[in-house]
Amino acid sequence: MKATLSIVCAALAVTSIASAQTADAKKTEPAKSTSEAAAPAAKPAMDKVSYFIGTNIGGNIANNFKQQGVKVDVENFLQAIRDQFEGKPSKYKEEELKSAMEAFEKVMQAKQGQMKQAQAAKSGEVKAAGAKFLAENAKREGVKTTASGLQYEVMKAAEGAKPVPTDKVNVHYHGTLVNGKVFDSSVQRGEPITFGVQEVIKGWTEGLQLMTIGSKYKFFIPSDLAYGDNGAGADIGPGETLIFEVELLKIEK
């Protein structure tokens, strides 16, 4: 029951944030004259306000349940809300609801366990494919492998300073999976990015300290130096080996 309630609370929080943002936006408006300030506020169209609130709350709840594969009985769901607004007694006894929720939570826990097992199996397959790729890649001329397993290739050498862990760097990068799919690229956005050397994945932290200003390297980063079994977002799945072309533009102390 706690998991289900947390979804509803999250949805309510979204609506509260939206209202707060609207209020903050009004604070930035220029001060109005006395006559304007005295004018009565227009009466809100509560049918539209109610629909807006329902859209925000209902949309978030619906999306969360869909992601978890939960099919809600919409009629009973809406009836419960109406009953609460109208102060009507519950359609079911408390014992019935408690028993149903306990059974529901057991089903959800089992489903989550199955999902974790499937994710672990998928991660293992992807890791194995990545390890095979790296083993072959290590044989290529110009590719070097560090003690951690990071592989790199110098695409453009340059003379200059190297960053240390406490520095911030400004870089251009282009990231792909082993299959060539682009998942992130400052090059495509046309705007370099600045961040701390220790604020990124392990493979980047290590690789950046090998570079000099003006150089361009290609990093081949095994899963355990990237996002591991968790992955990152929709584009980087569990166990993925990542490839980055990185150009170090400048160092900021």
Q: What would the 3-class secondary structure string for 185-248 be?
A: EHHHHCCCEEEECCCCCHHHHHHHCCCCCCCEEEEEECHHHCCCCCCECCCECCCCCEEEEEEE
Catalytic residue among 152, 227, 236, 251: 227
**Annotated catalytic, 236?**
no
Q: CB neighbours of 230 closer than 8 A, spacing ≥ 6? A: 238
* Ranges 40-49, 115-124, 183-192, most confident: 183-192
**Annotated catalytic, 7?**
no
**Annotated catalytic, 227?**
yes
Q: What is the mean pLDDT of residues 219-229?
A: 96
**Annotated catalytic, 24?**
no
Catalytic residue among 61, 152, 173, 220: 173
> Count of residues for the chain?
253
Which pair of structure tokens corresponds to residue 44?
A: 């809100």
Domains and CATH numbers, the chain: 2-91 (no CATH), 143-252 (3.10.50.40)
Between CA 106 and CA 196 the distance in angstroms is 44
The DSSP symbol for 147 reads T
Residue with tokens 């355990």: 224
Distances (CA, A) of 66 to 15, 33, 71: 20, 50, 7
Catalytic residue among 152, 184, 219, 221: 184
Catalytic residue among 195, 201, 213, 229: 201
pLDDT, residue 233, reads 85
Between CA 38 and CA 47 the distance in angstroms is 26
Q: What is the mean pLDDT of residues 16-31?
A: 46
Q: What is the mean pLDDT of residues 144-151?
A: 98
Least confident interval from 36-45, 90-99, 150-159, 170-179: 36-45
- How many alpha carbons lie under 13 Å from residue 104 in its C-beta half-sphere? 16
Q: What is the pLDDT of residues 34-77, one digit of tens each?
A: 445 566 778 889 999 999 999 999 888 888 888 788 888 999 99
**Annotated catalytic, 201?**
yes
Cα 164 to the center of its chain, rounded Å: 28
Which pair of structure tokens corresponds to residue 35?
A: 């006559």
Q: What is the mean pLDDT of residues 173-184?
A: 96
pLDDT, residue 121, reads 77
Between CA 203 and CA 79 the distance in angstroms is 53
pLDDT, residue 39, reads 65
**Annotated catalytic, 243?**
no
